[in-house]
Amino acid sequence: MPRLQHKTVVITGAASGLGRATALAFAREGAALALTDIDETGLLAVRDEADGLGARVVALTGDITQSQTHSQLRDLALASFGAIHGLCNVAGTLGAGTIDDVDLDRFDHVMHVNCLAQLLAIQAMAPPLRASGGAIVNVASVGAQGGLPLMSVYCASKAAVLGMTRAVAVELAPEVRCNAVCPGGIDTPMSQGLLASVSADQRESLLGKLTGRQLIPRFATPDEIAATVLFLVSDDSVFLTGSVLSADGGHTAW
């Protein structure tokens, strides 16, 4: 039997990359899906892909840094499916640049997308998650556990996600589990865009800090990280909460 049959899962950042892979992985395991992204075209394409896999799915285009996006998505999921059993905070942004490049606008944007948006989603979904005994998965990064060049604000935002994950796990226990995933480099349009936007020397430095340090010396596929997210929502991880799972190819092993 599919592992997530009869469960409804909310996924942010579902239009591409890891969010898309997560939505389709959950669809294959029988979950009903409530998806959001600011990219309407990409979001509707993923909705149709999930529908083609037999999933029941609703989608809402919206800005995840605004609380009404999450309350509207919650209400849509409850009206459509009756309950919410999982929340996957996948949406994120890189906002890369040197220390000298950082200004208030860049700092605010990265922190709002990567951290505040996760908090807003948790606030909106907490009541139905309490009712269902559900699970939250926050996507952080290997950058939360060690520094990366050109990514000071990104690393700070993802470190904040880890602190928030542990605090939410404590506050919502025992009804709701809350865990974080820390991926290493993932082969997504966002990461490829970053590599294309920097100089050759900067690209070499960044790749050296990521895959050059990993025991498995390559970028992960989105599907590989989506499988980790799915595990943390499923009943296979019922005794995990407040945990940080490093899916980083061994980057933090040494």
Choose among 151, 150, 237, 223: nearest CA to 183.
223
Sheet with strand 86-89: strands edge to edge: 57-61, 32-37, 8-12, 86-89, 135-139, 177-183, 244-247
142 near 219, Cβ under 8 Å?
A: no
Up-side HSE of residue 112: CA atoms within 13 Å toward CB? 11
Choose among 218, 188, 167: nearest CA to 90.
188
Choose among 58, 56, 180: nearest CA to 122.
180
Q: Can you tell me the distance from the alpha carbon of 115 to that of 73, in angstroms, rounded to the nearest whole number?
A: 18
Q: Which of 26, 81, 154, 231 is catalytic?
A: 154
- 154 catalytic residue (yes or no): yes
Cβ burial of 147 (10 Å; 0-12, 13-18, 19+) is exposed
13 near 215, Cβ under 8 Å?
A: no
Q: Dihedral angle at the C-alpha atoms of 37, 73, 246, 195, nearest 10 degrees?
A: 10
Q: Quickly list DSSP for 153-201.
A: HHHHHHHHHHHHHHHHHHHHTTT-EEEEEEE--B-SHHHHHHHHHS-HH
Q: Can you tell me the distance from the alpha carbon of 161 to that of 141, in angstroms, rounded to the nearest whole number?
A: 9
SS3 assignment, position 238: coil
Residues recognised as catalytic: 154
